[in-house]
Structure formats: C-alpha cells, structure tokens
Structure 1
Amino acid sequence: MPGPPPNPLAARRNPRVGVVVLPAEGYRGRTPKWPLPENPRLTARIRLIREELEALEERELDEDLSRTERTKLTRLRERLAIAEAERDAIVEGEKDLWKKLWRTPQACQWAKLKWDRDVAQYVRHKAAAEVGSLDDSKEARQRGHHLGLTPKGMKDLMWTIATDELAEQRGRAQLSSVATGTDGHGATVVVLAVDDDED
C-alpha cells in the first residue's frame, strides 16, 4: 500500500501544490474523440499474413502443393484468423475502456490537463494486455500509475476522491443493528441486520 496521505498542513520551505479533490460522481463532460490512429502493428501483421497466404493460395491453384506447403497454408489461415480475432477484441476493448475511463473521477483532471492522448495510449496498452500481451501489460501498469489509476498514483499526484456523504448516510440508515459473537470454534462472527423497509 502507498502509506499515509501527505499532511496538507505540513510546513515546507518550498511551495507545494495542494491536494486536488476529485468529485466522487466522476467526470460529467463529453467523452473526447479517440485521438489515436488505427493500431499500425496489428494492421501490418494482418496484411503480411494475408499477402503470404494469398501467394500460397495462388500457387495451390496452379499446381499441387507439397504436404509441407499444405501444412503451411493451413497454419497461415489459422494465424490470420487468430490475428483478426485479436485485432477485433483489442478494438472493442479500446472502445469500451475509453468510455468507462472518461466517467471516473480522475477524468476530471485529465480533461483539465488535456491528457486525452496519454489516456488513449494507456487504453491501447491495456486492451492489448487483456488479450495476452505481456509487454503491453507492463506498459499499461506504468501508465495507469501516472494517470492516477492506482492508489500510489493518486498519492503521487496528490489527488483524492471526495466522499459521497449522502451515500454514506443512506448506508448507515439501512444498517439497523450489528451483533458480534463466536461460532463455537473460537472464530469471531459479525452479523449485520439490514433494514429493508422503504419509508
């Protein structure tokens, strides 16, 4: 864990920017347009596989392929199908994650600081990581930290999320009683009784 939050009242010789309190309800502005071009790495990989596959299929029409070449043809078709499925999953993941991230409290600061390209780069790496790319996973973890998506990142940026006092009051009102005891084996048991009555 990142440790205790910095003391905003601590005396310092050099001026320090105060803690930024982010709204608990998240960013309510418009989601920015996706700023990055189509992923060139995925596009190039699919194009190269297609070219190699088409050349081998043309040869298949003109002459009988050897057993090794037929195996290669089958494997190329498989590689193309996997690459296209991976691309589709990444593109869908990017769209979904992009929309979700721009509803978070951190998005308020990203919009203010115009970090939409930085967020998009995080989204690109995160979406690729979710389909199994270890390198993209490492990069997404680091970028997530710099965008304030981790507790340590929030602390380093001196961001905090405002508490939703109304939700806390509702939660306390629904909790009518708490009982503690033991289960007969020495373990402590906590029983929460929730008031389901709607007034």
Structure 2
Amino acid sequence: MAKGGARARSGPAPDPNALRRERDAGEWTVLPVAGRTGAPPAWPLSDQTAREKKLWTSLWAKPQGLMWERYGQELEVALYVRRFTEAELMDSRVNLSTLVRQMADSLGLTTPGMRANRWRIDRSENGDERRPAPTGRPASGGRVSARDRLKVIGGGG
C-alpha cells in the first residue's frame, strides 16, 4: 500500500467564502443561477427511456450544463443519467448508488463536487456577486484581540 504523498481531495476543500478569497478569486467559475438555456444535446447512448429523457432534459437546464457543454461532457452526463435511473430501481446493487454519487461529484452536481471543480452559482439578485465583509478585522487594518472577536450568541438571563 502506498504511503505519503498527495491524494485526490486531500486537505480542506476550497472555500469560495474564505477571508482571503481575493488571492484565488480568478480560479473560481461563477455560474448563473438561471442555468443553461436551450435544448439539451442529442442523447449519445442507445435507446433512451422516458425517465432518462426527463432527467437528461432537467440536468442540462442546470447551471452546471454550461460547463459540461464547454468541455464536451455529453457522454459523461448520459452515463450518469443511465446509472442514476438504474440506481433508482428497488433491486439495484448498493455499489451502484456509490458510483452514482461519485459521478455526481465529478459532474459538479453536489456541494463537494462544486467545490472540487471550483464552481459556484451566483445567487445574488442582480448578478453581481457580493463579497461578504471579512469578520474579525477592523476597518483600520489593525489587529483585533481574540476577546474582541468573540460574540455573544444568546443572552441567557
């Protein structure tokens, strides 16, 4: 068994809301909340079922569809749809559900998958992503003591 060295998804997940986000702001792709418009691509596999067609259409309308289209991932999405519909069946194998979750991660359909791909969905009202104000730092740029950073959450009395 291999020891040491970097591993996929090792360490903390990238955080788009980190206090020093400006250092890697250019690495994140902001996807519009409205999603991808237009018809989904042609189904690349054989014999699409009605359930597969419905799921295929809904997935391509998601914001992630823009990135799948950019990177030509029609086949990957179709395989995910096929495995997903198989995993929905009552007599499906447990490991199929694990595969579906892994595929969802790689396609950016889960929160960890979105972070791993460095995608985030713009949920601001007018399309301008507003950065949260850093907490625990005074406007003057000086240091704040640990005591000053503490905040009372509920006053029991």
TM-score by length of structure 2 reads: 0.63
Indicate conservation of the 8 Å contact 2:14/2:118, yes or no. no
Cα distance in 2, alignment partners of residues 103 and 29 from structure 1 = 8
Cα distance in 2, alignment partners of residues 121 and 34 from structure 1 = 10
Question: Once superposed, what is the RMSD of the aligned Cα atoms?
Answer: 2.8
| Shift, 1:93, TM fit | 2.0
User: How many residue pairs get matched?
Assistant: 113
Indicate conservation of the 8 Å contact 2:84/2:100, yes or no. yes
Question: Can you give the 5+ residue segments of structure 2 that lack an aligned partner in the other structure?
Answer: 1-12, 127-157
Partner residue in 2 for 1:127: 85
Indicate conservation of the 8 Å contact 1:8/1:19, yes or no. no
Query: CA deviation digits over 1:146-198, x for unaligned, max 9?
Result: 000000000000000011405xxxxxxxxxxxxxxxxxxxxxxxxxxxxxxxx
Q: Which has the higher helix share?
A: 1
Indicate conservation of the 8 Å contact 2:114/2:120, yes or no. yes
3-state SS in 2 of match to 1:114? coil
TM-score by length of structure 1 reads: 0.50
Residue 10 (structure 1) aligned with residue 23 (structure 2): yes
Residue 101 (structure 1) aligned with residue 59 (structure 2): yes
Q: Which has the larger radius of gyration?
A: 1
**Pairing of 1:40-189 with structure 2 (within 5 A):** 91-132=49-90, 133=92, 134-165=94-125
Identity, in percent, stands at 35
Query: CA deviation digits over 1:86-120, x for unaligned, max 9?
Result: xxxxx222111101001000001111111010000
| Shift, 1:29, TM fit | 2.8
| Shift, 1:139, TM fit | 1.2
Cα distance in 1, alignment partners of residues 15 and 26 from structure 2 = 18
Query: CA deviation digits over 1:49-102, x for unaligned, max 9?
Result: xxxxxxxxxxxxxxxxxxxxxxxxxxxxxxxxxxxxxxxxxx222111101001
Q: Which has the higher strand share?
A: 1
Q: Which runs of 4+ in 1 moved over 6 A?
A: none
Cα distance in 1, alignment partners of residues 124 and 44 from structure 2 = 32
2:37 to 10, 28, 35: 28
Cα distance in 1, alignment partners of residues 108 and 70 from structure 2 = 14
